Amino acid sequence: MCIEWRKRDGAGQSVRQEGQAYMAPQTPVLIVDGNLQMTALLQRYLARQQVDTQAVSSLAEAQAVLAQQAFGVVLTDDFMPSSDGLALLRYIRQTVPSTRGILMTFFRAPALCQQARAEGAYACLAKPFRLQDLWDIVQPALQGLPAPEASRQYDLSGPG
């Protein structure tokens, strides 16, 4: 039995490779976080999952990039220079509603995550989180599926 997997070559074309599981082409993930170490960690991890990423550190940069390119998911920190993740979620909801926004936050306050969902967030993920927990949310978001039930619990766990 031949298992196929498609990846993009240097020109962005889909290339068939045998012997690995097939993975449907995905739109890239935009990471918006002022913490360069966090951004680098997320980019490395998502690259291992065969997901293309782009990273910026502010609301203005994110808006400029979103106006130029389609993204399946935006991972945003709740704190950014001169703005916050809720403002970005609001922008996504109003301008590119097909993009799924995921808010990453150090605060485990249910009220913050409820507000994020009201602004259109697909999910809210409390830092620190396991990378597998992130993938358990990002993967279905990229596939256009509803947020997993477990992702509703990440934002409510622990002291708040």
The model's pLDDT over 55-79, given as tens digits with 9 standing for 90+, comes to 999 999 999 999 999 999 999 999 8
Average pLDDT over residues 74-100: 92
Closest CA to 105 of 86, 91, 124: 124
pLDDT of 160 above 50: no
Which run of H or E residues covers position 77?
Answer: strand 73-77
Report the predicted TM-score, pTM, of the whole model to 2 decimal places: 0.78
The model's pLDDT over 18-35, given as tens digits with 9 standing for 90+, comes to 444 434 456 899 999 999
Domains of the chain: 25-154 (3.40.50.2300)
Residue 16 is encoded by which pair of tokens?
Answer: 């068939």
The most confident of 65-74, 114-123, 139-148, by mean pLDDT: 65-74
Peptide bond into 128 cis (omega under 30): yes
